[in-house]
């Protein structure tokens, strides 16, 4: 019987257009060995750091972002024995409620699926060269710097 | 005896996010002395453009791969300074 490792599927994309969660779900890889599916969506929220956000822009250093997303998914796949790890991240201009990031994973059991998905979103926030500019209702805007990343060890 | 003039390397720098706003453009080509490190160039440009981030606050990418601030630059390299990220 093939192991998960032999079959692992990794997919990453930077999306200038809206992410459609139903399309991601339809394209989910299938395997009879899979017992756990976990999907995380990050959405654009109206308040951040005490200010009212009206929209935001994501800027992406795409060649390196895609490489790093792949490394993160590969690491998660090995560490948590995932069958698949997929990630879509938006670029460009987003409105409130839009999907900013979607991650889904498949594993034999739920525990590995939850842990793997959590690992991937946390690593993306800390490691992948993507930046967010928030626009506020008072007419100001700022690049958010919520994560320190110096001395981030390489995978 | 006259010192040989240093032949400048030409490197491409791409700017993102806060740094792009401060520079006012997404990229530029820069002539640098041979032997310069990525960190040397950051400090030079941080002064020129008043970047608010210390060298220890950023990461460096050369030719689309993470590297260290002490990375020695070669002619034709592509250099990116990576301010703290905020994806997800």
Q: How many CA atoms lie within 13 A of A146 on its CB side?
A: 16
Contacts of B17 in chain A (CB under 8 A): 59, 131, 133, 143
Q: Is pLDDT of A149 > 70?
A: no
The closest of A91, A108, A107, A90 to A99, measured between CA atoms, is A90
> ipTM of the predicted structure?
0.91
pLDDT exceeds cutoff 60 at A4: no
Confidence of residue A2 (pLDDT cuts 50, 70, 90): very low
Largest Cα–Cα distance in chain B? 59
Residues of B (8-47) whose Cβ lies below 8 Å from A: 14, 16-18, 20-21
Q: What is the dihedral of CA B30, B32, B34, B38, to 10 degrees?
A: -80
Q: Work out the end-to-end distance of chain A between its first and last CA atoms, rounded to an integer number of angstroms.
A: 30
Chain B contact set for A89 (CB, 8 A): 87-88
Q: Is pLDDT above 70 for A17? A: yes
Cβ B16–A131 below 8 Å, yes or no?
A: yes
B11 pairs with which residues across the strands? B30
What pTM did the predictor assign? 0.91
Q: pLDDT-based confidence at A10, cuts 50/70/90?
A: very high
Give per-residue pLDDT as tens, B57-80.
999 999 999 999 999 999 999 999
Decide if pLDDT at A3 tops 90.
no
Exposed / middle / buried, residue B45 (Cβ in 10 Å: 0-12, 13-18, 19+) = buried
Residue A31 pLDDT class (50, 70, 90 cuts): confident
Judged by DSSP in three states, B51 sits in coil
pLDDT in tens, A99-132: 999 999 999 999 999 999 999 999 999 999 999 9
Q: What percent of chain B has pLDDT over 70?
A: 92
Contacts of A60 (CB under 8 A, 6+ apart): A14, A89, A91, A129, A130, A131, B87
List pLDDT tens digits, range A46-99. Answer: 988 889 999 999 999 999 999 999 999 999 999 999 999 999 999 999 999 999
Contacts of A131 in chain B (CB under 8 A): 16-18, 83, 85-87
CA-based nearest residue to A144, from A44, A66, A62, A74: A44
Q: How far away is chain B from the Cα of A12, in angstroms, using its nearest Cα? A: 14
d(CA B55, CA B83): 10
Q: Is the CB of A154 less than 8 angstroms away from the CB of B57?
A: no
Cβ pair A59:B84 closer than 8 A? no
Inform me whether the pLDDT recorded for A1 exceeds 80: no
> Once rounded to an integer, what is the mean pLDDT over residues B17-28?
97
């Amino acid at each position: 019987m093939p192991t998960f490792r032999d079959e692992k599927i990794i997919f990453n994309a930077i999306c200038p257009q809206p992410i459609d969660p139903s399309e991601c779900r339809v394209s989910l890889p299938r395997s009879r060995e899979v017992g756990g599916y976990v999907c995380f969506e990050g959405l654009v929220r109206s308040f951040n750091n005490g200010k009212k956000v009206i929209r935001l822009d994501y800027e992406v250093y795409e060649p390196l972002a895609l490489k790093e997303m792949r490394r993160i998914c590969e690491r998660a796949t090995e560490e948590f024995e995932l069958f698949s790890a997929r990630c879509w991240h938006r670029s460009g201009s987003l409105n409130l409620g839009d999907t900013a990031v979607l991650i889904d994973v498949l594993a034999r059991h739920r525990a590995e699926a939850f842990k793997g998905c959590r690992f991937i979103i946390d690593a993306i926030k800390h490691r992948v060269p993507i930046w967010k500019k928030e626009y506020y209702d008072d007419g100001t805007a700022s690049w958010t710097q919520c994560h320190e990343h110096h001395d981030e060890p390489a995978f | 005896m006259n010192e040989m003039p240093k032949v400048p390397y030409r490197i491409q720098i791409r700017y993102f996010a806060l740094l792009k706003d401060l520079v006012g453009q997404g990229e530029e080509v820069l002539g640098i002395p041979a032997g310069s490190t990525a960190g040397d160039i950051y400090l030079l440009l941080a002064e020129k453009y008043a970047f608010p981030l210390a060298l220890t606050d950023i990461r460096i990418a050369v030719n689309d791969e993470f590297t260290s601030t002490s990375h020695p630059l070669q002619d034709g390299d592509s250099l990116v300074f990576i301010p703290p990220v905020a994806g997800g």
